[in-house]
Amino acid sequence: MGRGDLTNAEWDRLESFLPPGGARGGRWSDHRRVINGVLYRVRTGVQWRDLPERFGPWETVYKRHRRWSADGTWKMLLSRIQAAEDAAGGIDWDVSVDSTAVRAHQHAAGARKAPAAAVPEKGAGRGTNQRSGAAETGRPAGGGSQIGECLGRSRGGLTTKIHLVAEGRCRPLAFVLTPGHYGDGPQLERVLAQVSVPRTGVGRPRTRPDHVLADKAYTSRNNRRYLRRRGIRHTIPERLDQQRHRQNRGSRGGRPTGFDSERYKKRNTVERAINRLKGFRAVATRYEKRAYIYLGTVTLAALVIWLRT
């Protein structure tokens, strides 16, 4: 077992959730070796072609990662591990919300805007229903443009922003990608909508935290109204200009927002979760052209964090 590979205990937790492996000559062979190859690349950030030979052909490792990023296998594994932790009472539902900008490598630019041309199947004649290029490659719908691939241009170059929710033990609970120049506040509803921890028994997935902590970037009226509508308590400081505007309106400005300074100290959990994610070099710098593959990379890094904390 190499440095950073799955331990026997970690593999035992994942093995039962993976697609069944094929027999000799089957499609899925040696899941553990391939996953370790993907982990090596996510941890070190090397090019796919430079993977050590002990992981097998690099094309197999890359294609497996691309396919599982597209069909939601990585996300499914993360949900199963979160469900097991929640059933054992291991999740602190006082969550924090924040974002981090990630510099995109020059190789992350240049994704094709249109899907590949349809390729007829062998023996298909005129009038045969041909598969589209998107279906041929297993790529989810959307993307293609710079904004569609979550790339934003700023003074520092191309960037992608990861908006995430971290539970009270510094583990990423949910996240979404946007171009790097997008603001934080408008993404609060979207990222909280991604929180969905399944039940191990009967019941709906848990989607509502006990408490949300966020900084001043999330202090808009729309965000507070959304949290009140869902019955979620929150601790978000109010900006000075908002305080002055409310006071200038007198009784029409409404009541002051409640703020618990002691509880707000716990918001550093999301900062520590970001530091853990950026410990993976392929997360700290984006190399993928396609946003869904980079999202799969972030999801796998979060899965490792859940397995090892």
pLDDT at 121: 40
pLDDT band at 145 (very low <50, low <70, confident <90, very high): confident
pLDDT at 260: 82
pLDDT at 194: 96
pLDDT at 83: 96
Query: Looking at residues 262-280, what average pLDDT do you find?
Result: 95
CA distance to 33, 188, 216, 290, 303, per residue, from 70 (Å): 20, 24, 34, 10, 16
Query: Looking at residues 150-177, what average pLDDT do you find?
Result: 93
- Which DSSP string corresponds to the chain? --TTPPPHHHHHHHHTTSPPPPSTT-SS--HHHHHHHHHHHHHH---GGG--GGG--HHHHHHHHHHHHHHTHHHHHHHHHHHHHHHTT----EEEEEEEEEEEPGGG----SSPPPP-PPTT--TT--PPPHHHHHTPPS---STTTTT-EEETTEEEEEEEEEE-TTS-EEEEEEEETTS-SGGGHHHHHHT--B--SSSSPPB---SEEE--GGG--HHHHHHHHHTT-EEE-PPPHHHHHHHHHTGGGG-PPPP--HHHHGGGHHHHHHHHHHTTSHHHHEE--SSHHHHHHHHHHHHHHHHHH-
pLDDT at 136: 38
Q: Is the pLDDT confidence value at 124 over 50?
A: no
pLDDT at 249: 67
pLDDT tens per residue, range 60-112 = 999 999 999 999 999 999 999 999 999 999 999 999 999 999 999 998 988 88
pTM, entire model: 0.87
pLDDT at 131: 34
